[in-house]
Structure 1
Amino acid sequence: MTTQRTATVQRDTKETQIRVSVNLDGTGVSKLETGIGFFDHMLDQIARHGLIDLDIHAVGDLHIDGHHTVEDVGITLGQAVAQAVGDKKGLTRYGHAYVPLDEALSRVVIDFSGRPGLFMDVDFKSGMIGAFDTQLTFEFFQGFSNHAGVSLHIDNLKGHNAHHQAETIFKAFGRALRMAMTLDPRSLGVIPSTKGSL
């Protein structure tokens, strides 16, 4: 039995105060308070389908809009995942998933390469889902990618309903993350790179 990989990160700025705790070897339990209902729903998809225990409390300047809150949660979650993953020895490293929801279908591919990059191709059919601005999906994943040190490819392959489009993206991200962060019993203690470092 390996030691559980956990981390807690606190991020405080003039715009947001955010606390994120993760357990990468969890069961998908989440406690989420961002002040944006649909965003909480999406974060719950990451926890549930990634089997990550996730505790996120965010207080942001929502009287302006959700931009700072969503982006800074992505940053803080990325920092927490990077801490919890540690030296990456034994990590599967790569993960991918296709997830459908009715007419919508999304693909997410992730690499814990240490080289951050977000490559996202999504044409949302609506600008808003509840109080959530769909443009902030990019900001969340860019914050995550930059601070987790991952290369992340996100493609919505089809979909007519913005809620369905977003949900397939976040579910696929959770599944891909779960795969990439799984410890490979055949390479425990080994950095998954021919360079010997990530």
Structure 2
Amino acid sequence: MRKTELVRKTSETEVKVAVNLDGTGIANIDMDTAFCSHMITLFATHSLIDIKLKARGDLKHHVVEDTAICLGKAIKKALGDSSGIRRFGYATVPMNCSLASAAVDLSGRPYFKV
């Protein structure tokens, strides 16, 4: 299975994440930032990636930044040599009362954008 666990601890935050790329979309998110928690839960649900995440820190924006860094590194590590996947993917779907678009690029560039 393509899965991994990662811990990122700095003077500002501590983030623990476990991902299973061959999961069923189960999300267990424990962080104080409700919107970010909601978005990661949706990401897990619709990508069918199991994500277990616990994040704590001094300021919400530090927690969000380090969570994104840790989650990205965990996904990259779980992909291994990335054989059998394409570098990017995208979708636009009607969801509730809106039209949602998502694009994911696994190029390894070190930034996160919502």
Q: Which residue of 2 aligns with 1:21?
A: 18
Task: Give the CA RMSD over aligned residues.
Answer: 1.9
Q: Which residue of 2 aligns with 1:99?
A: 93
Gapped runs of 5+ residues in structure 2?
Answer: none
Gapped runs of 5+ residues in structure 1?
Answer: 119-140, 143-153, 155-198
Please say if 1:67 is aligned against 2:61: yes
Secondary structure of the 1:88 match is: coil
Provide the TM-score with structure 2 as the length reference: 0.88
Please say if 1:83 is aligned against 2:71: no
Secondary structure of the 2:18 match is: strand
What is the identity percentage for the equivalent residue pairs of Structure 1 and Structure 2? 42
Segment drifting more, 45-54 vs 31-40: 31-40
1:38-95 superposed Cα distances (whole Å, 9 cap, x missing partner): 2212111011001011000011114xxx110001100000000000001111113331
User: Hey, which of these two has a bigger chunk of strand by percent?
Assistant: 2
Provide the TM-score with structure 1 as the length reference: 0.53
Within a 5 Å distance, the mapping from 1:170-189 to structure 2 comes to none
Within a 5 Å distance, the mapping from 1:97-176 to structure 2 comes to 97-114=91-108, 116=109, 141-142=112-113
Deviation at 1:111, TM superposition (A): 3.1
- Runs of 4+ in structure 1 displaced over 6 angstroms? none
Please say if 1:47 is aligned against 2:47: no
- The number of equivalent residue pairs is 114
